[in-house]
Structure 1
Amino acid sequence: MRAVRPTRLVPAVLAAALLLGACTSGGSTPGQTVSSTPSSDHAPAAGVTPLEPLPAEIPAALASYYGQKLDWKTCDGDFDCTTFKVPLDYAAPAGGDLVLTAARKRAAGGKARLGSLLLNPGGPGGSAVEYVEGVAKGYDPEVRGAYDLVGLDPRGVGRSSPVTCLSGDRMDAYTAVDITPDDQSEIDALVAADQEFAAGCKQRSGGFLGHVSTVESARDLDVLRALLGDQKLSYLGKSYGTFLGATYAGLFPSRVGRMVLDGAMDPVLDARAGNKTQAGGFDVAWAAFAKDCAKREDCPLGRDEQQLDQQLDALFKRIDGAPLPTESSRKLTEAQATTGVIHAMYAEFLWPQLRTALTTAKAGDGTALLKLSDQYYDREADGSYPNLMFANMAVNCLDLPAPFASPAEAAAAVPEFEQASRHFGRDMAWMALACGYWPVKPTGAPHTIRAAGAAPIVVVGTTRDPATPYAWAQSLAGQLESGRLLSYDGDGHTAYGRHNTCVDGAVNRYLLGGDAPAAGTRCAK
Structure 2
Amino acid sequence: MTVRRSPRLSLFVVGLVAALGLSACTLSGQEGEWRSVPQAEPSVTAQPQSPTPAPTDNGKVAWTDCKAEIERTIGTALSGVKVDCGAVAVPQDWANPTGETFSIAMVRIRREEQRNRIGSLLVNPGGPGASGIELAAQTPLFLPGDVMERFDVVGFDPRGVGKSAPIDCLPAASKDSLTAANPDPAPQKEFDEQVDLWRTAANACASRYQGTLGYYSTEQTARDMDAIRDALGDTKMTYLGYSYGTLLGAVYAHLYPSRVRAFVLDGAVDPNLDGITASEGQAAGFEKAFNNFSAACKAKGSGCPIGPDARRTLHNVLIDVQKKPVPGTGGETRAATTGHVVSAVTAALYVKAQWPTLERAIADIAKGDPTGVFSLSDNFTGRISDGAYDNMTDAFTAISCTDERNPPTVATVRKLQTEWRKKYPLFGAPLAMTLLSCAVWPGTHDPYPVGTALGAPPIVVVGTKGDPATPYGNTAKLANEIGTGRVVTWEGEGHTAYPQTNCIRENISNYLITTAPPPDNLDCPAN
| TM-score greater than 0.5 by the shorter chain | yes
Quote the residue 2:280 is aligned against.
276
Structure 1 CA distance, aligned partners of 2:481 and 2:137? 33
Quote the residue 1:52 is aligned against.
37
Quote the residue 2:268 is aligned against.
264
Quote the residue 1:372 is aligned against.
376
Partner deviation per Cα, 1:227-252 (whole Å, 9 max, x = no partner): 11111110000011111111100111
- CA shift for structure 1 position 420: 4.4
Structure 1 CA distance, aligned partners of 2:144 and 2:346? 30
Q: Comparing 81-90 with 199-208, which one deviates more in the overlay?
A: 199-208
TM-aligned CA distance change 1:434 to 1:49, over 3 Å:
closer
Quote the residue 1:9 is aligned against.
6
Quote the residue 1:43 is aligned against.
none
TM-aligned CA distance change 1:50 to 1:477, over 3 Å:
farther
Structure 1 CA distance, aligned partners of 2:18 and 2:290? 28
Asked if 1:421 corresponds to 2:401, the answer is no
Asked if 1:102 corresponds to 2:106, the answer is yes
Asked if 1:356 corresponds to 2:360, the answer is yes
SS at match of 2:251: helix
- CA shift for structure 1 position 85: 0.8
Structure 1 CA distance, aligned partners of 2:483 and 2:311? 41
Amino acid at match of 2:9: A
Asked if 1:219 corresponds to 2:223, the answer is yes
Which 5+ residue runs of structure 1 have no aligned equivalent?
Answer: 25-47, 58-67
Quote the residue 1:69 is aligned against.
60
- CA shift for structure 1 position 513: 1.3
Q: Is the 8 A contact 1:179 1:335 kept in 2?
A: yes
Quote the residue 2:433 is aligned against.
430
Asked if 1:493 corresponds to 2:478, the answer is no
1:298-313 correspondence to structure 2 within 5 Å: 298-303=303-308, 307-313=309-315
Could you tell me which of 470, 473, 476 is aligned with 1:474?
476
Q: Is the 8 A contact 1:18 1:497 kept in 2?
A: no
Could you tell me which of 301, 310, 322 is aligned with 2:324?
322
SS at match of 2:65: strand
Quote the residue 2:517 is aligned against.
516
- CA shift for structure 1 position 49: 10
Structure 2 CA distance, aligned partners of 1:148 and 1:262? 20
Q: Is the 8 A contact 1:19 1:139 kept in 2?
A: no
SS at match of 2:299: coil
Quote the residue 2:401 is aligned against.
397
Q: How many residues align?
A: 484
Q: Is the 8 A contact 1:402 1:435 kept in 2?
A: no
1:54-453 correspondence to structure 2 within 5 Å: 69-77=60-68, 78-110=82-114, 113-296=117-300, 297-303=302-308, 307-327=309-329, 328-401=332-405, 403-406=407-410, 408-444=411-447, 448-453=450-455
Amino acid at match of 1:466: P
- CA shift for structure 1 position 18: 4.0
Amino acid at match of 1:436: A
Amino acid at match of 2:269: M
Q: Is the 8 A contact 1:279 1:421 kept in 2?
A: yes
Structure 1 CA distance, aligned partners of 2:400 and 2:297? 34
- CA shift for structure 1 position 362: 1.7
Q: Is the 8 A contact 2:88 2:231 kept in 1?
A: no
Q: Is the 8 A contact 1:164 1:205 kept in 2?
A: no
Q: Comparing 125-134 with 137-146, which one deviates more in the overlay?
A: 137-146
Q: Is the 8 A contact 1:163 1:391 kept in 2?
A: yes
SS at match of 1:93: coil
SS at match of 2:240: strand
Which 5+ residue runs of structure 2 have no aligned equivalent?
Answer: 22-32, 43-58, 69-81
Structure 1 CA distance, aligned partners of 2:18 and 2:326? 39
Q: Is the 8 A contact 1:486 1:520 kept in 2?
A: yes
Amino acid at match of 2:345: V
Partner deviation per Cα, 1:98-155 (whole Å, 9 max, x = no partner): 1111110124434662110000011111110111112235321111111110001111
Partner deviation per Cα, 1:158-203 (whole Å, 9 max, x = no partner): 1111000112222112211123112122112101110121122223
Identity across aligned pairs (percent)? 36
Structure 1 CA distance, aligned partners of 2:100 and 2:122? 26
Quote the residue 1:65 is aligned against.
none
Amino acid at match of 1:471: G
Q: Is the 8 A contact 1:237 1:261 kept in 2?
A: yes
Structure 1 CA distance, aligned partners of 2:442 and 2:199? 9
User: Larger RCO: Structure 1 or Structure 2 (Cα < 8 Å, ≥ 6 residues apart)?
Assistant: 1
Q: Is the 8 A contact 2:18 2:353 kept in 1?
A: no
TM-aligned CA distance change 1:203 to 1:448, over 3 Å:
closer
Structure 2 CA distance, aligned partners of 1:278 and 1:310? 21
TM-aligned CA distance change 1:112 to 1:83, over 3 Å:
farther
RMSD: 2.4
SS at match of 2:98: helix
Amino acid at match of 1:264: A
Q: Tell me the TM-score normalised to structure 1 length.
A: 0.87
Amino acid at match of 1:76: K
Q: Is the 8 A contact 2:89 2:101 kept in 1?
A: yes
